[in-house]
Structures are given as C-alpha cells and as structure tokens.
Chain A
Amino acid sequence: MSQDLKDVIQAADPANVATINFGPTHPSTHGIFQNILKVDGEKIISSEQTVGYIHRAFEKLAERRPYNQITPITDRLNYCSSPINNIGWEMTVEKLIGVDIPKRVQYMRVIIMELARIADHLICNSVIGVDAGALTSFFYPFSEREKIYELYEELSGARLTTNMGRIGGFERDFTPVFHEKLKSFLKTFPKAFEEFDSMLARNRIFMDRTKGAGPISAERALSYSFSGPNLRAAGVDYDVRAMNPYSSYEDFDFIIPVGVNGDTYDRFMVRQEEIRQSLRIITQAYNNLPEGDYKADLPDFYLPAKADVYNNMEALIYHFKIIMGETELPVGEVYHAVEGGNGELGYYLISDGGRTPYRLQFRRPCFIYYQAYPEMIKGLPISDAVLTLSSINVIAGELDA
C-alpha cells in the first residue's frame, strides 16, 4: 500500500464515511454479486463481498449423475466459453479410464477450445469498453461473436451451452459447412478484430481510464492463486497450455503475453493479445489437421450411432450399458486442468467405481481470484472499481458453482 493511500484511509473521518451497496443488481456487476463499499467521498476505504447468489450445487449434482451426463453441467460453469469446460471434463474422464485419443480429435479440440477462448475474451474486453463508456465496442465485436456461435451450432446444434464433444472424441466430424464457415471466419475476423482493437487499445480516453485501475502485484496475485489472463497481466507467465500441455498443445507455436502492472489496461491488452495468439493456434491446427477418425475406439463410453442401435445387437447392448451406467470404471483420483477463459480450470474427480463420481470438485478460477477484489479496489474511486470488476471477468456461473 502506498503512503498516499494510507493517508487517505487514516484521514477518513467517520462522519464522512458512507456505506453504499454495489450490487446485487447493478448494471455494471454483469452478474449477481454484492459489494458493500465504505466510501469517503469517491474513495473506497473498504469493501465486503457477498457471493453465492446463483449457487446451483454443481458438485452435489455431479455426485448424482453418470459421467456423460455431467458434460451439460460443465457448460454452465463459465458459459462464455462452454466448449473448454466440456472438453476439459471429457479429458478428465479419459485420463481416468486411460485411453489414447486420435491426433485428429486432439487438433479438433484445440480449434474448438481456441474459438471458445476468443469468444470469452471478446465478451470481457467489449464489456470493459462499455464500462468505460464506449457502447460501440460492445455491439461491434458481438456481431463477430455470432459467427463463433454459428460454428458451434454446426458441431453441436447449440449456441451457448454447447455440450460439445463426447468422452472419446466428437459427436460428429467437422461438417462441410463448418469448414466453409471456419475458413471465412479466419479470413474476416482478424480485420474486424483489429478495428475493434484500434478503437480502444491506443485510445487516450480509454488508456487514462484504465491505467492504474485495480492493480495487483505479482506476489499478491500468486498468493491469491490467480491464474489465467489476470495473473499474466501481473507479469507471471503461467499458462496450463504451456506448463502441462494437453490435447497436443505442445505441437503449436504461440506466445504467452504478459503485462507489467496487473491493472485493468494490462488485463485488457493481455486478452487482446491472447485472441491473436488463439487465431494463430487455430490456423496452425487447421492447416495441419490430421486425417483420421473423429472419435476414439471406445465402445464402453462413446454412444453408438442411432442407426446401429436399431439394427445391430452389439450396438444396442452398448447403448443400454452407457445409458444405464453399467460400465465398469476404474477406482482412483484424478486431477486434470485446462486453461479456461479465466485461468486454470481444474477437475478433481474421485471415482469409487460406481456409475457416478464419488466426489467431483471443480477448481473454478473466478471463485479463487474474486476474493482479491477488495484489496484491488482499496483507495480507488468507485468508477475504477466498476472497471476493475469487469476486467477481472467474474462469471457468476463459475463463481458460485
């Protein structure tokens, strides 16, 4: 804490201290969470958080569901980038049952996950623009984002809660329309994105508003177990994709951008650069997409095609076994982490061999780093607190589980 800040806080006359409610329904909380701020004029002296307003008991729910029915729950964790959650969960189960995934599936997953990362970061950065007073920066990227939704739709039929993929691969191969749309996306998106970038990145007003808003040092961020873009903005180059590569991330050439001050501007810039890197990864993966099957040979977990179920005894048996949860599962404890939109998204799965997990814990990056928020906004004006909140990208579904 700087000396100035200490002076401000010590000088606060109790008679001048006001208590205000920031949330639970506030236009700039972008979700439902409450902060009770104590302010002296415009300066925030302290704040107290209340979370849990959309607690949906994911972990208890997961203890009652067979493995392939848990994928839809993971959709609703960080719903801005559902496919990463889905695929992260599928990889956790694959780790438990120990299965080799074809190279093509791994590359397909990388493409989908990086598209999801772009969609996630676009929401966050456009909302930072909105909170700084620039509504165009919301409308413009959103029309680009719709194109990512169209790509999801080709593979899963859904826009937001995708339930993408299956244990062992994908439900279907990339369709011809998907190929077409992905190619045109790779062609048109960079231009639109650079236009969006030029609206804000070197905009004097935006820079003045965001620089120095909600900073956190690398040491504190680490102590708070930050991960993802928020940690990288503080200058620590931790990225699960590079540290523990999964799904063939080691095959791709990409940079992990880092910031210096850990403030709102750095977080914005880190996300912008990550979008560019994601595009690079998608291009590499797409250009080198291996031939092969879009699913692993895993009859115990991968639902057979419906036509086979009607005509083929073996397929019918597998279908029945999967739906009724009669499949043999190994006993054990697995932890698998992926780099989600907000950081290290982990699945700690304990299997006792039953049809449902004995315990499944989600490591939800939002939940872990949001607790640093009071520290980050101390001594700042309320308007900076708003920007800080949108730039750390707290997603209520992931926060409250």
Chain B
Amino acid sequence: MGKIEDLETINGEGYQLTTLDKAIALARANSVWPLPFATSCCGIEFMATMGSAYDLSRFGMERMSFTPRQADLLIVAGTISKKLGPVLKRVYEQMAEPKWVLSVGACACSGGIFDTYSVLQGIDRIIPVDVYVPGCPPRPEQIIEGVMNIHELVKKESNRRRYSEEYKHLMDTYQIDIDQHGEAK
C-alpha cells in the first residue's frame, strides 16, 4: 500500500500539509481499476497474474472492471486483429478520464510474430499507449512490472492533463474527438 510518508509534505505539530494533486495521485495509484481486454494467450498469463500465486490484488487492483465506464486502466492483452480494432477503440472512448493503457505482449505492442494481413500491427495505431510490456507472452512478473510503471505514471500525472493542448493534440492524432473535459464524445 502507498504510505502517506511517501508524499512530499510539510509537517508540524498536529498537522500535515500537501497539495491536493499529490494526495489524489496517491489515492489513484493505489486503486487502479483495470479493464482486462484479454483476447488470447496473454490473457491466460494475465489470469495467472490475477491468481493466487502472483496476486494482483496486493496493489489495490483486484476489482476487475468489465465495464469501460468504471475503469481506469485498459489492459490490452493479446492479438488485436483488424476486425477487432474498432471494438477496442470504442472501448477506449467509453472509458472516463483519467485513463491509462497498458499493452501486454508482443502482439498488442507491435503485431508480434503475426505480420499477417489480418492482424493490427500494434494497438498504438488506434489508441495511445502508456506502457508496453514485451514478451510472447510476458511472464506474470513482467506484467506486474508494467503495472508498477503505470502506477508511477499515475502518481506523476497532473490532474489537469486532459485540459492541456498536448493532450488534445494527442487525441487528434488518433482521430478521437474530445469535449472540453477531455472525454471522448
């Protein structure tokens, strides 16, 4: 669990001060709700990561959110074909801000060994990705490391990121229309 001591604070007798941003970031990082978009082999390794031996719930992530509306982290584990691409994009658009994307496995990162007519060569062609986990499939330890990297990002990310010009520009490159709150229309 995240400790309050991790925060940069001003301490005095009987009080402790920090910025709202940092307090929120700490809370967020320790309760990331993942949406497992598991399509193939990597999905089985993701199940092992959730299982008792590796236990993802140590990090406040045992609540699998199968509805995109209540999810913070989209975990794309497995091959995404061209047929599935639009579905994945729709799921991403339905997620509420703030949201992060973890791409698990060679197929999701780059198409992997499947350089074929039917496979999307990396999900970053349709949605922005925050952390890539290579491997075919990656071991659960690797997936956990990817999740840890997501936590670092979550802790550092500004609450106002979605209002920034850079964010709008990023979404523009993926042809995702966003409203003034950064939510996909």
Please give the residue numbers on chain A whose beta carbons come within 8 Å of chain B beta carbons, in ascending order: 24-27, 31-32, 52-57, 60-61, 72-73, 75-76, 79-80, 123, 138-140, 142-143, 145-146, 149, 159-161, 396-397, 400
| Cα distance, A24 to B78, chains bound together (Å) | 14
Q: Residue B53 at the A interface, CB < 8 A? A: yes
Do A142 and B83 contact each other (CB < 8 Å), given the known contacts A54-B40, A76-B41? no
- Given A54-B39, A397-B41, the answer on whether A26 and B117 have CB atoms closer than 8 Å is no
Any chain A CB within 8 A of the CB of B116? yes
Cα-based distance from A27 to B71 in the complex (angstroms): 13
B4 is an interface residue with CB less than 8 A from chain A: no
Please name the residue on chain B nearest to A53 by beta carbon. Answer: B84
Partner of A160, one of B84, B91, B116, B137: B137
Q: Can you offer 13 A-B residue contacts whose CB atoms are under 8 A? A: A25-B37, A26-B66, A54-B39, A54-B40, A55-B81, A56-B79, A56-B81, A56-B118, A57-B114, A61-B116, A142-B47, A143-B53, A160-B45
Closest to A65 in B: B113
Asked if B83 and A396 sit within 8 Å, CB to CB, the answer is no
Interface of B is mostly: loop
Minimum CB–CB distance for A59 against chain B, Å: 10
Complex contact B48–A146 (CB within 8 A):
yes
Q: How far is the CA of A57 from the CA of B116 in the complex (A)?
A: 6
Q: How many residues of B contact A (CB 8 A)?
A: 31
Interface string of B79-90 (1 = CB under 8 A from A): 111011001000
Question: For B127, what are the chain A residues with a Cβ–Cβ distance below 8 Å?
Answer: none
Residue in A25, A26, A140, A160 whose CB lies within 8 Å of B44: A160
Is B53 within 8 A of A60, CB to CB?
Answer: no
Question: When chains A and B are docked, how far (Å) is the Cα of A143 from the Cα of B47?
Answer: 11
A145 CA / B140 CA spacing, docked (Å): 14
Among residues of B, the one whose C-beta sits closest to the C-beta of A56 is B114
Tell me if A53 and B66 are in contact (CB < 8 A). no
Q: Which residue of chain A has its CB nearest to the CB of B66?
A: A27
B29-72 residues at the A interface, CB under 8 angstroms: 37, 39-41, 43-45, 47-48, 51-53, 64, 66
Cβ-based interface call for B148 (8 A)? no
Name which residue of chain A comes closest to B115, CB basis.
Answer: A61
Cα–Cα distance between A161 and B113 once the two chains are bound (Å) = 13
Given A25-B37, A142-B52, A397-B40: A57 in contact with B118 (beta carbons within 8 A): yes
Cβ of B95 under 8 Å from chain A: no
